[in-house]
Structures are given as structure tokens and as C-alpha cells.
Chain A
Amino acid sequence: MPPAEPPRRRATDEPQGELHIVGVSHRTAALPVREALAFPREARDGALHQLCDLSGAGEAMILSTCNRVEIYARCQGPDAGQALESFLCVFHGRAPESLAQAIYRLRGADAVHHAFRVASSLDSMVIGETQILGQVKEAYEAAEAAGTLGSMLGALRNRSIAAARKARTETGIGAGAVSVAYVAVELARKIFGQLTGKNVVMVGAGKMSELAARHLVSGGAAATVVAGRTMERATELAASLGGRVLPLEQLRDALSVADIVISGTGAPGLVIRTADVEAARVRRQRPLFLIDIAVPRDIEDTVTRLPGVFLYDLDNLRSVAEANLRERRKQAAAAETLVEKEARDFIDWEKSRDVVPLLVELRKRGDEIRKAELAKVRSRLGPLSAEQEQALEAATSAIVNKLLHPPTVQLKEASRSGHASEQISFIRKLFGL
């Protein structure tokens, strides 16, 4: 007999409780604290079940990235946040007192706003970064797989992800590269448009130049690695980039066909001189993009005097990245407004869910009475024409609809202003439900 599937937890679906978020982020906690509280991927399933058992949450999700660890849960009662916080500490074997400064607790509307801002990367270290949305999606998927995702978190997932996409396309928060490697790639695209068929020459094999080269190659460029000190590392790199490798003596050959040069050797002096570039260039009308990320610099500064030659060193790239970041911050205000509106819509929708069951019941009850009374009187009326049948149906339906219209409107309005619970019990009493 095959081993039985472990019972999957079902998220409870009664629309009770509100959203609570408890966690730490780069704003409140240093890296060691965030690391200590992180949930590794393989532990997440168990953690979610344990969380629901210990805190009594109806639904739960855990978002764990290098910049934040957050528990999202739908809970009831005044102590819910406390319970989630103590779970976070107990699970990682930490004393709650030691983390009191770092952990934040949010509930209700504040929690919803926070969830929307996080997904839209407005709470990220680098505003507008794209990674967080993927991480948020993955966290929801993990919760879904664990069976702890119910209707509220499910809706929060859809709405917050949609809002994040909207913020990205409708404002400029994602525009402009903000890391050195990406700025270099963006500049290359501004010069060459298409990277297909362009030759990238890497001189030296550092981490940052590798990252930039990898992006250029994935855009269709071909790589050549010119070895710095050792041939070994260069060969390895060339293989992983699908390119060829040349010794330093053949630098000039490499330059003659280069469109983009990324230089990052550890050499103490200049590696590429203006005269070398001038002599090596065969196609003088074509642009040549030189990226110097070495400190001390590898490329002679006067090379920019040559027509069509563009040189960017590490400082230049950084200042472009900073300018882009400033622009993103400016755009963030517009994104905040947009995301806040989306969050408020979600909260309104969430509130209206309280009254939905009652509205359904009310309508059902009305229809039952109508059908029962119609059945009683119908036998006494004898055969009727189709039109008469229809008129009878329409008239009785209209009575029910008109009677139920005012309480329906009243309930919907109350739910929007957040005072539905009294009205719900009153109307239940009134209609004997």
C-alpha cells in the first residue's frame, strides 16, 4: 500500500479576522538579525503549518528574502500580532525581548497598505527593483502549496501583484539602471541599439565585468576574453560566455574588431592607451564603447578625443546610476499614490465581503416565500396563457425585489464605512434569519 498523503491543511474560509503582518526588514534590522530570522525554502511548508497551529491563523504566508522576513496572516482577536511575533521568535529560538526593537507589527488597513507597498518595491532598499515581485509571487505560491492560502490572502495576492505591475508601467519607478553593471549595459544599448553581432572584449576577468558581459552576451553580443594575469581564469570565463580567449599580447587584435571593451584588470598602470585604440581601429566611423571598471584605471582618459569613442569609468557609471536612482525617487511619489489607491480599493472590497453572505440569504429567503405563496395560489387560478404566467412571475418578483432593495443598499453602504456588524445582526433579527 502506498504511503498516505500527509493531510493538507485547508485554509478556513469564513471571512473573519483581519490581515496581520509581523516582521523585520532592512529598515528595522541589521543583516545578522534578518539572517537569523530567515525561513529557508525547505523549512517554509512546515513553518506555515506550525504557524497556523500555534497562532490560530486562518490563512498564512511567509515572505523571506535577504532584505525582509515577514509573516502575513489572517487572524482574529486583539493578541493576534503578539502571537505571530512570538511564533517568529520561538521558531528561530530567539528571545522575543531581544528583537522587540526590530520587529514591526501591522494590522488591518496598515497591513494591507504595507503588503501593496512591498510588492510594488516601494519599501525596497532600491526603489523599483524587480526582484521583490518575483519573491512575493513565490511566497504566495509556497503558501498555496502548503494549503494556507485562503480567499483573503488569495485576493491580496492578485490585487497587490496587479498593483505592482501597474505602478511599474504607469510610473517611472523601474526606469533607468541603478547598478553599475546594468548602467553599462544600458549605455551599450543607447549606443548600439541592437547588441546582436556586436563584439564584446573583456580585458581581465573581474566579477563586475563578468556580470556586464553576461548581460551583453544574452542580448546577442559575442564575447572575447583577453587574459589578465592568468590564462586559466580567462579560459574558464570565455567558456562560460561561449566566447574565445586571447593572451594579453594580442590585445590590439582584439581591439581592432571590438565594439564594446570592458576593462577590469588589477594592473597598476594603463593597459589601453589612446595610441593603441587609434592604431587598432579599422572602422573609424563606427562607435567604440570603452568601459573601465578598474581601480586604478586601465584606459587612458584622452581616448575620448577620438571621434565615436565613448569612455566610462567606474565613477561615471556610478554617477549615472545615482542620477537614475534620484529619478526613481521622484517617480516614487506618483507610484505611492497609485498603490495607495489600489490598497484602499482592496480594503473596501474586503469590507464588503462581510455582508455578502447576509445579502445572499436575504435574497434566498425572499424567493422562497414568493415561490411558496405562488404555488398555493396557482392551483386555484386554473389554466393560464403564457403571457399571464409571465406577468404573475414578474409581479411577484418585483414585490420581493422592491422590498429588499433598501436593506441591500443600506448594508452595502454600512460595509463601506466599516460599521456593518451591528446592521448585520439587526437585519438578521428583523427578517428572522
Chain B
Amino acid sequence: MTARPLRGRLERYGPPLLAGAALLAAWEYLPPLFGVSKLLIPRASAVAAALWVEIERGLIFDAFIVTLFEALAGFVIGSVTAIVSAALITRSRLVERALMPYLVGLQALPKVALAPLIIVWVGIGIESKVAIASIIAFFPVLINAIVGFSTVEAEKVELMRSLVASRWQEFRIVIFPNALPFIFAGLNVAIVFSITGALVGEFVGADRGLGNLLMQLNFGMDIAGMFSVLVVLALLGVALHALVRFAHRRLIFWAEPENIETNTP
């Protein structure tokens, strides 16, 4: 009886663990073999040691918390604003038709280009990073939510109309839950974007956060230290993405994955 679950677990976790170990080994031993200086690509063990140093100095934890907060706050503010805006825009066909070309156009503008401007407007504190992250998270959620709110089966709306439902009831009972798969496709993109937004904001002007720490280590030519920040950033990304996926699975267990389109600008 116990053999099968154990085997299942091996089959599930075995390959990625092995691949990870192989990658780490390659990182550790391959660059020296090809004569690449360990100043440019420090060994995995050196990066681990540098990470430990950063942890002991206590700076990286503080930086991690700051960037996590900026990204998460930006994600929440940007997404909620986007969902509310999409709901208001799709209330009227006319408004939707009037605004859609500009929204799609704005979608194409690389929003990180706004970072310097926002630092000038809001300052170099955490607020400016939250602002940049929310602007970047806003658009993918907005566009997906608009598509989601407008692609509801006519019969579902007719059912609500036949019951003399109010527009709010129609939205709450049918349109909003119906749009959740689309909204989550946007949120999946937005969560990663919001980390990028926070980081770029920190590059442009900040006194705290992982981006700021990365710049400091860069000035000091501490390549191993920079690598250790990248590791922390990767963990941050994976953790936040897992959070969205967890919510996704809990909320949209009912949807068929093939009819969800991802909107990646």
C-alpha cells in the first residue's frame, strides 16, 4: 500500500530535483572548465556564501520585505482598480467602444518608461514604487477583465433578465464570476509585472529594496552578492506567482483551461 504513493512522489518530484541538482553542478564546475573567470560568473557555492553574508548583515531581509511590500501593494491596488474600471467601462457599449482603442494603445506603451516621471512626482520613498507597480499591473488585468465582462453567453443574461434582476445582481451573480478565468489570466501576468515595476522603480531612485541593494552591490563590483540578490528575487517571483495560482485553483476549479486566453503585453 505504501509503495505506490512513494513511487508516485518519486515520479513527480524526482525529475525536477535531479534537473536542479544537475544545473547547480553545471553552474559550479562548468565555467572554470571553459576558462570563464569566477569574477564574472561566481560559483554556486560562492553565491550561497555571499547570500549567507547578506543575510548576516541583515540588509537583504529588509530589502526583501520592502520589495515584497511594494510589489504586493502595487499588484493589489492595480488589479482592484483595473477590475472596477473594467466593470464601469463595460456597463456601456458606447464607452467601451470609445475607450478600447486607446486602452489597447496604452497597453503597447512600455509602462516602465513612466518610472522616472513617477519618481519625480511621488518621490524616492516606497510610495513611488507602489505607484509604478500598480500602473504596470493595471493594464493586463484591465484588458482581460474587459474581455471577460463582455464575453458572457447571451442565454445567461437572458435568464437574469427573465427574473427581472437588477444590473448589480446580473453583474454579481453572472457576469463577474463568469469573467474570473479571464481576470486570473490577467492577474498571472500582473503579479510578475508588479515585481518588475517595483524593481525598476528602485533602480531609478530608491534608498531601500532589492533593486537598490542590487545597484549598491553593482557599484561595489560584488558579483557574487548580485547573484545572491537575483536568487532572492527569483524566490520572490515564484512565491507571489504561487500565491496567485493557489487562488486561481480555489476559485476557478470549474473552468475549462482551453477557453481562457492570456493577454501578455
Query: Is B truly associated with A?
Result: no
- On A, residues with C-beta under 8 Å from B are none
